[in-house]
């Protein structure tokens, strides 16, 4: 099971937890969770006017072995308007545009989508059950 909790944070709201949304999916091959502005394609949806987030920005996909991976999907623009970081414990890893990384099995952490032009971010906590 992969559990996601998403909060959108803007300027003075930093540290607030109001408006959090959650999604989960079983660790079965082919299971998918997506995050972005498109409510028809994504389980967790960011505000429509937050254009630093693509319509479908992040994809969590469960592989044949039950392990989850995270992909920062390439959008319609050649250069992204955001930065994405994966935080696991003391470890922080910037993700490249279009990059896929494995999530730690039986672990937890956070993915941060940071606007490059304003103090706004989308913070996604994850827990991957062992």
Higher pLDDT, 51 or 17: 51
Q: Is 12 helix (H, G, I), strand (E, B) or coil?
A: helix
pLDDT digits (tens, 9 = 90+) for 70-115: 999 998 889 999 999 999 988 999 999 999 999 988 889 999 999 9
Global confidence as pTM: 0.91
Q: What local confidence, expressed as pLDDT, does residue 15 receive?
A: 54
pLDDT digits (tens, 9 = 90+) for 32-79: 999 999 999 999 999 999 999 999 999 999 999 999 999 999 988 899
CATH topology of domain 2-128: Tumour Suppressor Smad4 (2.60.200)
Pairing of strands 44-45, 32-36: parallel
Q: Please, which contacts does 42-48 make with residues 24 or more away whose CB atoms are closer than 8 Å?
A: 43/4, 44/4, 44/6, 44/124, 45/21, 46/6, 46/8, 46/122, 47/8
Eight-class DSSP state of 89: T
Q: Distance from first CA to last CA of the chain, Å, rounded?
A: 8
């Amino acid at each position: 099971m992969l559990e996601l909790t998403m909060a959108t944070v803007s300027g003075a709201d930093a540290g607030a937890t109001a408006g959090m949304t959650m999604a989960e999916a079983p660790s079965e091959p082919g299971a998918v969770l997506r995050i972005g502005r498109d409510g028809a394609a994504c389980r967790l949806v960011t505000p429509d006017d937050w254009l630093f987030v693509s319509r479908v920005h992040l994809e969590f996909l469960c592989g044949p072995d039950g392990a989850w991976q995270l992909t920062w999907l390439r959008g319609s623009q050649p250069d992204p308007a955001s930065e994405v970081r994966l935080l696991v414990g003391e470890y922080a890893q910037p993700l490249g545009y279009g990059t896929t990384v494995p999530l730690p099995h039986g672990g937890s952490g956070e993915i941060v989508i940071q606007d490059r032009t304003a103090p706004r971010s989308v913070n996604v906590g994850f827990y991957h059950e062992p």
